[in-house]
Amino acid sequence: MTYLIKDETVVQQLKILAQRKNKTVADVLRQVIVQEIEREDSRTSTMEKLAPVLAKARALGEPVGRINWEEQKRASDEEWGE
């Protein structure tokens, strides 16, 4: 499969890197792609990062619920005679 890279800057950078590494452009691209995939695979997922926090939250028990601010305002006004 052939890809056409229209960004001339990217093409030039690929050629420079290939020349420095004494490799073909395809080999350089292949290496960069493999490295990027490995980097992505090694990243910790968001859920893995949140797991300790979620465990602590579950240990605290069920949430009380959402605050109805209109009801709170009405109760406060009633309490203060407003």
Q: What is the pLDDT of residues 9-65, one digit of tens each?
A: 999 999 999 999 999 999 999 999 999 999 888 888 888 889 999 999 889 887 777
Sort 18 into a burial class: Cβ within 10 Å, 0-12 / 13-18 / 19+. Answer: middle
Full-model pTM: 0.52
Residue 7 in this model has a pLDDT that exceeds 90: yes
Q: What is the pLDDT of residue 62?
A: 77
Contacts of 14 (CB under 8 A, 6+ apart): 5, 25, 28, 29
Instruction: Give the model's pLDDT for residue 77.
Output: 94
